[in-house]
């Protein structure tokens, strides 16, 4: 009967805890959830061609190209290399102008060496009559935690000075080309220097890195068909306050620089780019610029092009070909941008050979207002809770056998002393009291430090289940991150893995409920019969161990709530 009552109490407590933890999980987790996008854009033409009125440009391949590598000294003492590619007239071929326009090409995230990027784009533009320069990226203070886009812009300006002074280059016709992260840098340069003639921003995020990361991860999860609630991991990470650990550039806002950018600007996107809000981003940027007087902005979309404007695969791979007509369009814009300010464009402002589609909206208001909110409001707090849970559980799980060993050794020692005392008493021979009575030893054992009967097994069950579930879930999060990086995953594995984690969370809750119910029932029995029933935990060492144990378990349960594992 007592056992049945215990099982019933455990079942009721488990249900209550599951409901309570689900509600708490809803309260402490960020409430920002990506919304499906309904954004559309009207294309003025299915041709990506770019041309100003009354002009004709040379085509890619018209000129030979010479290359030269030059050293460039930066303000921090670093020396980088830059590759200059110049058009050269062929014998008997098209005559080259005395001075040609120029373009500095800025790389995206992580890419550093000029020898590894833009070889085909820079050569192609040069062969159409546009001098190009591709500099190394200064990587001395560049990491996933720290990036200073203003300093990077000033570093790139040293290269821009070199191109403007290069023989045969028109210093008033030099502009910028940037891809992805580089599009957070070019507006800084363009807003600070009136000598910049134009700006080409390819796969430009426009929004803050935090907002961009949120959009990209959610879009990847949709493409990979990541199951609920894992698809909400995005907001649980990107709405955390990141100061102190990084990235320090999460909330860099390029909008003030776009507002001061006066040059003709071209925004370019591929319709197979899974990481960019390809409709909202250019609209947002053009609206900022137009509100501040710059209406000379164009947008082009390329069918099947990925984030690097290459076709054949959504992932970045070497040797993929560029989108059709891409280099020619870039060269045409570079040559016509300056004159377009007086003659205008003969081609539409917005055009593309494919209609873009955007998965979700970049909801800037909700995202900004939710940053740092909730019980787990920062990356630091998340690491403390998650790391603390694992460390404390390891300590307690490894410490429990030690406590058992020390207690058993103490019992053996006390038993031996009691036996010796009994055998040495004056009346031991007369009474035959050679062996210590079992009842006396049992009574003494109840006064010794330790756990009550049934406690150790429940402590092991709850602690081990919670620890393994924590590892299983962190492994699942790591696997989804790897899937995003590789842009491929096993959907069945995700479903089974996630289901196992959520089932184990229920097991953890039941084990925790059984432990709590047993402790309460044991304490009640002890209060009623203090001499016959031992407390659930006694002794300073065992009590300290139990406190650490419960803190570790509670930390893990908070993490389960935060990740949404209790929500049904």
Examine the pLDDT at 374 and tell me if it is beyond 90: no
Among 297, 282, 369, 375, which Cα is nearest to 337's?
Answer: 297
Phi/psi-derived region of residue 539, left when phi > 0, alpha when psi is between -120 and 50, beta in every other case: left
Higher pLDDT, 101 or 275: 101
User: Do 372 and 240 touch, CB atoms closer than 8 A?
Assistant: yes
Among 335, 340, 308, 294, which Cα is nearest to 53's?
Answer: 340
The confidence score (pLDDT) of residue 220 equals 84
Most confident of 67-71, 76-80, 428-432: 67-71
Examine the pLDDT at 289 and tell me if it is beyond 70: yes
Neighbour-count burial of 382, counting CB atoms closer than 10 A to its CB (0-12 exposed, 13-18 middle, 19+ buried): middle
Examine the pLDDT at 446 and tell me if it is beyond 60: no
Examine the pLDDT at 291 and tell me if it is beyond 60: yes
Q: Which of 101-110, 213-222, 300-309, 447-456 has the lowest mean pLDDT?
A: 447-456
User: Do 364 and 45 touch, CB atoms closer than 8 A?
Assistant: no
The confidence score (pLDDT) of residue 224 equals 80
Examine the pLDDT at 290 and tell me if it is beyond 90: yes
Higher pLDDT, 147 or 481: 147
User: Do 375 and 210 touch, CB atoms closer than 8 A?
Assistant: no
Examine the pLDDT at 562 and tell me if it is beyond 90: no
Average of per-residue pLDDT across 491-511 = 92
- Give per-residue pLDDT as tens, 465-476: 999 999 999 999
- Neighbour-count burial for 337-354, b at 16+ CB within 10 Å, e otherwise: bbebeeeebebbebbbbb
pLDDT above 90 coverage of the chain, percent: 51
Q: Band of the pLDDT at 434, cuts 50, 70, 90?
A: very low
Neighbour count for residue 1 (Cβ, 10 Å): 5
The confidence score (pLDDT) of residue 427 equals 56
The confidence score (pLDDT) of residue 162 equals 97
Half-sphere exposure in the Cβ direction for 505 (13 Å, CA): 28
Average of per-residue pLDDT across 427-431 = 52
Q: Band of the pLDDT at 504, cuts 50, 70, 90?
A: very high
The confidence score (pLDDT) of residue 517 equals 93
Q: Band of the pLDDT at 230, cuts 50, 70, 90?
A: low
Q: Band of the pLDDT at 439, cuts 50, 70, 90?
A: low
The helix/strand/coil state of 546 is: helix
Distance CA 74, CA 77 (A): 6
pTM listed for this prediction:
0.84
DSSP state, residue 378? B
Q: Which of 41-50, 153-162, 535-544 has the lowest mean pLDDT?
A: 535-544
Q: Which of 271-285, 316-330, 434-448 has the lowest mean pLDDT?
A: 434-448
Examine the pLDDT at 51 and tell me if it is beyond 90: yes
Q: What is the DSSP string of 440-464?
A: HHHHHHHHSSEEPTTHHHHHHHHHH
- The distance from CA 454 to its chain's CA centroid, rounded to whole angstroms, is 44
Examine the pLDDT at 443 and tell me if it is beyond 60: no
Catalogue all structural domains in the chain, each as residue range(s) with its CATH number: 2-29+379-562 (no CATH), 64-231+249-370 (3.40.50.1820)
The confidence score (pLDDT) of residue 137 equals 94
Higher pLDDT, 171 or 388: 171
Most confident of 324-333, 351-360, 522-531: 324-333
Higher pLDDT, 370 or 210: 210
**HEC sequence for 218-230:** HHHHHHHCCCCCH
Rg, the chain, Cα only: 34
The residues near 225 (Cβ < 8 Å, ≥ 6 apart) are 491
Sign of the dihedral defined by the CA atoms of residues 401, 402, 407, 412, in that order: positive
The helix/strand/coil state of 202 is: strand
Length of the chain: 568
Q: What is the DSSP string of 72-95?
A: EE-TTS-EEEEEEEEEEPPTTSPP
């Amino acid at each position: 009967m007592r056992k049945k009552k215990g099982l019933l109490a455990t079942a009721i407590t488990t249900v209550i805890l599951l409901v309570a933890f689900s509600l708490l999980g809803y309260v402490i987790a960020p409430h920002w959830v990506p919304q499906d996008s309904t954004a559309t854009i009207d294309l003025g033409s299915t041709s990506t061609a770019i041309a100003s009125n009354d002009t004709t440009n040379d085509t890619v391949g018209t000129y030979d190209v010479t290359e030269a590598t030059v050293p460039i000294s930066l303000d921090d003492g670093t020396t980088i290399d830059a590759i200059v590619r110049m058009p050269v007239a062929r014998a008997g071929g098209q005559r080259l102008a005395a001075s040609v326009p120029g373009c500095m090409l800025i790389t995206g995230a992580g890419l550093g060496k000029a020898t590894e990027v833009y070889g085909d784009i820079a050569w192609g533009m040069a062969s159409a009559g546009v001098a190009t320069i591709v500099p190394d990226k200064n990587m001395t203070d560049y990491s996933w935690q720290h990036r200073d886009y203003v300093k990077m812009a000033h570093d790139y300006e040293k290269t821009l000075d070199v191109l403007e002074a290069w023989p045969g280059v028109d210093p008033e016709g030099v502009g910028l080309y940037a891809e992805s992260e580089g599009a957070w840098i070019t507006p800084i340069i363009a807003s600070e220097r009136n000598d910049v003639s134009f700006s080409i921003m390819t796969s430009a995020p426009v929004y803050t890195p935090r907002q961009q990361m949120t959009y990209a991860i959610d879009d990847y999860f949709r493409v990979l068909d990541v199951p609920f609630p894992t698809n909400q991991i995005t907001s649980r990470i990107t709405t955390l306050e990141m100061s102190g650990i990084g990235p320090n550039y999460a909330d860099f806002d390029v909008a003030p620089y776009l507002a001061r950018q006066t040059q003709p600007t071209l925004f370019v996107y591929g319709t197979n780019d899974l990481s960019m809000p390809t409709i909202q981003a250019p609209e947002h940027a053009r609206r900022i610029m137009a509100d501040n007087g710059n209406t000379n902005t164009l947008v082009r979309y390329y069918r099947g092009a990925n984030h690097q404007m290459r076709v054949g695969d959504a992932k970045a791979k070497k040797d993929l070909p560029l989108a059709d007509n891409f280099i020619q369009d870039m060269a045409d814009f570079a040559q016509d941008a300056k004159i377009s300010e007086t003659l205008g464009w003969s081609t539409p402002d917005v055009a593309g050979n494919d209609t873009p589609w955007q998965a979700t909206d970049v909801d800037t208001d909700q995202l900004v207002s939710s940053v740092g909110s909730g019980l787990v409001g920062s990356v630091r707090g998340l690491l403390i809770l998650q790391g603390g849970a694992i460390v404390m559980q390891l300590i307690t799980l490894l410490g429990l056998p030690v406590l058992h060993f020390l207690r058993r050794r103490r019992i053996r020692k006390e038993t031996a002393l009691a036996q010796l005392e009994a055998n040495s008493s004056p009346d031991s021979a007369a009474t035959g009291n050679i062996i210590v009575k079992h009842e006396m030893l049992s009574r003494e054992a109840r006064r010794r430090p330790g756990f009550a009967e049934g406690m150790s097994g429940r402590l092991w069950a709850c602690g081990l289940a919670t620890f393994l579930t924590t590892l299983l879930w962190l492994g699942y999060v790591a696997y989804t991150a790897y899937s995003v990086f590789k842009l491929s995953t096993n959907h069945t594995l995700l479903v089974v893995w996630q289901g196992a984690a959520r089932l184990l969370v229920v097991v953890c809750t039941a084990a925790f409920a059984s432990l709590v119910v047993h402790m309460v029932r044991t304490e009640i029995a002890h209060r009623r019969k203090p001499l016959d029933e031992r407390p659930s935990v006694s002794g300073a060492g065992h009590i300290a161990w139990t406190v650490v144990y419960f803190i570790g378990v509670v930390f893990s349960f908070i993490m389960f709530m935060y990740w949404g594992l209790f929500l049904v």
